[in-house]
Amino acid sequence: MSVSVVVVGFGDEPVLQVCISSVREQLGEADELVLVDHGITDLPNLDDVTVITPPTNAGFGGGCNAGAAAAKGEVLVFLNSDAELRPGALAALSERVRDPSVGLTGGLVLLPGGDDIVNSTGLPVHLSGLSWCDGYGERLSARHLVSRRLTSVAGALFACRREVWEALGGMDTSYFMYHEDTDLSLRCHLSGLDVVYCPEAVAVHTYEFSRNPDKMFHLERNRFLTVFGDYPRHLLARVLPVLAVLEPLYLAVALRDGWGAEKVRAWVWLARHWRAVAARRSRVQAEVVRPHALDDLLSPAVTQTQLERPGAMSLLNAVLRSYWWVARPRAGRPERVSRRPDVVVLRTNPHDSSLARLLEILVERYRVLAVVWDRTGDYRCPVESPHLSVQSSRRAGEYLHWRTIVSVAGLQPWFLWRTLRARPRLVHAMDLDTAIVGLVAARLLRVPLAYQCLDPYAASMPTGWPSVMARFARRLENAVIGAADLFVITDRGRLPQHEGADPRALAELPNIPLREIQPRPMSDNGLVVGYVGSLVPHRALEVLVDTVGSLADERVQLRLGGFGVLEDRLRRKAARHPNVEFLGPLDYDVALDVLGDCDVLVQLGDPTHPALRWVSPNKVFESMAMGRPLIVAEGTLAADRAVKAGHGVPVRYGDADDLGRALLSLRDDRPRAEELGAAGRRAFDRYWSPDRVSTAVLHAYEGLIGSGGRP
């Protein structure tokens, strides 16, 4: 897709030449740079730049509109004139907006100085319309490098497809300056498209927060234009009490900081122009496709780091959170269950394929409500069914951190309320973080509890955590298993992990691919090795990359994908080897397609690790379904399962020489490799086919709640 970069300039622009040079270096043959000149005092070298000079200065939004109208590209990228692009930014933005579900995508914006200090990773938006730079002043860390859904892009660097820009009508020129990016983003959400963060696209922004009378007037006026124009009626009704409480407090802050007159001036402007404000609201609301799109996106708490806050702000935020927990819109959402569900499923990690696998089975016979913690704000349920509904909390959170425990504890009342309100006929809790609240809800509702353990907490805790926590988790989990009416386990071979537990009934739901997979022919030139999964320690992934990298002259290749704490390290390591391709995070269906084109898959879990010794991973069953050999680490349950199926090639964990010999053996003995793959496929069809697994799980459910109340 061709790209047009739009830059709007005004007055003294000391960084403009650097900005233009950074863009030029990334333009392809069909791409272009468009500069909108709103009175730049000293124009730099403009070779190969399309310059637009509007007759009047229509502000930032008007300049963006003029630049977009003159541009020819299929993708429009908007960049501040005082920002410098880092290499690869245009390609990353262009790739992200190829997704038809994505409307806008914003990049990672850093402050100058070379210390990688964050300027913005997107804009949170408060109920009252305030927006601010997320992450401002923080040192760049892994938290800032995770793609997620955004409430609003930052105007310093964002992109969209031309068709999206035209459908949204571009930026609202009545804003003149400030808040145009927030308004555009909220209207994008309401149109049914997503706004997402693209951390691979980086710009360095010469930015310093400051106040001046004209700026504060426009910030205040435009905040109200956004609230009164963009918020659908049901949302605005719930926000008005918040405004009634906060406006006197905001006025006090404005008077304290010397811009009280500008705040009052904004109120006066709104009162004098109420007809124009009402007309704008009518135009915006007439284009709304998803009226509830903003319900879970707005923040009830003010965390604006670059503004001083009154001492009571923490208490005020607690009050606002409590109010919004009660008042937040619920009725009328597309996700809402229209009737009592048969099953409520509770999950704190919905991105894991285990949830999709369970839902795919249950909706064959039951009405299901999935209640999930979408901690990254970008979850899209891959299972589509009229009998499935999803309710999610988008409270931000991390994985495998002590703060996660606090976040999970804080979500327990929400999980309980959602479950009690739905009144299901069965509660299904996945893993220990929803087990207690699931058990309480099931007992209060007097319905059965199904408890599914994917990985025992005691074995999955990060290295260095106190051992007393593991002992407590083990006892607690065993108690839940004994109290549950059905214990669902990924592999019966993992029962030794639950020593001391006494389940009443047991069902096995292995990590099989539920999608139909047909084995493909192996490559006829060399050996292609595949791994897509968690990029975390104790999986010998660095050994895998280095071993395959050393076999570049032996016609051995590696396709490596996934996400996790080792992602950046493995990306750099892979770049050193011409025969190693690093793919990064992949959707599950894409991952299956990538692995299906490989000749051999790899699963190297550390047999000395208490969790990985017993893990029964997707790749064991995916390799069976694909008719591919699986190289596994000796001494693990995965190796036991793969060898029993007939397609496993065991090697010593962490032994590069042993791994290299196994790879070359499979490369040189193609008939053996094909027979191993065929044996795995036979085992899959006989024991692990989707129909067989689904039937077994549904049979266990029928023993608890019958065949379901679905029509």
pLDDT tens per residue across span 249-265: 888 888 888 888 888 99
Question: Percentage of the chain surpassing pLDDT 90?
Answer: 57
Which 8-state DSSP code applies to residue 123?
Answer: B
Length of the chain measured in residues: 711
Separation in Å, CA 468 to CA 209, 402, 458, 461, 464: 47, 15, 10, 11, 11
Report strand pairing: 600-603 vs 630-633: parallel
Question: Percentage of the chain surpassing pLDDT 70?
Answer: 93
CA dist 2 and 548 (Å) reads 36
The C-alpha torsion from 60 through 64 and 67 to 70, rounded to 10°, is -130
Q: Is residue 506 a contact partner of residue 535, using CB atoms and an 8 Å limit?
A: no
Mean pLDDT across the stretch 259-272?
A: 90
pLDDT at 305: 44
| Nearest of 408, 367, 363 to residue 384 by alpha carbon | 363
Chain position carrying tokens 């920002």: 83
| Nearest of 251, 284, 245, 279 to residue 266 by alpha carbon | 251
CA dist 182 and 495 (Å) reads 52
Q: Is the pLDDT of residue 416 over 60?
A: yes
Banded model confidence at residue 189, pLDDT cuts 50, 70, 90: very high
pLDDT at 62: 92
pLDDT at 510: 92
pLDDT tens per residue across span 635-667: 999 999 999 999 999 999 999 999 999 999 999
Helical segments of 627-669, H only: 637-645, 656-668
Extract the tokens encoding 631. 């190289």
Helical segments of 328-401, H only: 353-362
pLDDT at 307: 44
Q: Assign residue 176 a region: left if phi > 0, alpha if psi is -120 to 50, beta otherwise?
A: left
The count of other CB atoms within 10 Å of the CB of residue 196 is 22
Q: Is residue 202 a contact partner of residue 108, using CB atoms and an 8 Å limit?
A: yes
State the fold for domain 343-508.
Answer: Rossmann fold (3.40.50)
| Nearest of 237, 300, 298, 228 to residue 266 by alpha carbon | 228
| Nearest of 111, 106, 131 to residue 121 by alpha carbon | 106
Separation of first and last alpha carbons in the chain: 47
pLDDT tens per residue across span 310-342: 455 677 778 888 888 888 776 444 444 346 799
Strands (E), 32-152: 32-40, 49-52, 75-80, 83-85, 102-111, 117-120
Summary mean pLDDT of the chain? 88
CA dist 562 and 560 (Å) reads 7
Helical segments of 131-211, H only: 162-168, 180-190
Extract the tokens encoding 374. 């979408």
Separation in Å, CA 532 to CA 141, 269, 563, 617: 24, 57, 9, 11
78-92, 244-258, 368-382, 685-699: which is most confident:
78-92
pLDDT tens per residue across span 336-368: 434 679 999 999 988 878 899 999 999 989 999
CA dist 405 and 398 (Å) reads 10
pLDDT at 212: 56
> What is the greatest pairwise CA distance in the chain?
83
pLDDT at 207: 74
pLDDT at 137: 86
Q: Is residue 446 a contact partner of residue 428, using CB atoms and an 8 Å limit?
A: no
pLDDT at 401: 54
pLDDT tens per residue across span 431-484: 999 999 999 999 999 999 999 998 887 666 666 667 787 788 889 999 999 999
Tell me, yes or no, if the pTM score tops 0.85.
Answer: no
Extract the tokens encoding 668. 């040189």
Mean pLDDT across the stretch 380-385?
A: 84
pLDDT at 591: 87
pLDDT tens per residue across span 578-606: 999 999 888 777 888 899 999 999 999 99
pLDDT tens per residue across span 133-159: 888 888 888 888 888 889 999 999 999
pLDDT at 306: 36
pLDDT at 208: 63
The count of other CB atoms within 10 Å of the CB of residue 401 is 12
Question: Of 2.60.120.10, 3.40.50.300, 3.30.1330.40, 3.90.550.10, which CATH number belongs to 3-205?
Answer: 3.90.550.10
Reported CATH class of domain 527-688:
alpha beta
The count of other CB atoms within 10 Å of the CB of residue 384 is 8
pLDDT tens per residue across span 26-46: 999 899 999 999 888 888 878
| Nearest of 28, 196, 27 to residue 100 by alpha carbon | 196
pLDDT at 604: 94
pLDDT at 336: 40
CA dist 293 and 654 (Å) reads 48
Collect all residues with Cβ–Cβ distance below 8 Å to 294 and sequence separation of at least 6. Answer: 186, 189, 190, 230, 231, 232, 235
Mean pLDDT across the stretch 41-68?
A: 89
Q: Is residue 395 a contact partner of residue 148, using CB atoms and an 8 Å limit?
A: no
The helix or strand, by DSSP H or E, that contains position 200, with its residue range, turns out to be strand 194-205
Separation in Å, CA 570 to CA 70, 546, 561, 618, 656: 42, 10, 10, 21, 16
pLDDT tens per residue across span 88-111: 999 999 999 988 889 999 999 999
Fold match between domain 343-508 and domain 527-688: yes
Sign of torsion over alpha carbons 512, 515, 517, 523: negative
CA dist 373 and 379 (Å) reads 9
Mean pLDDT across the stretch 487-508?
A: 90
Each domain of the chain, given as residue ranges in start order, spans: 3-205, 213-327, 343-508, 527-688
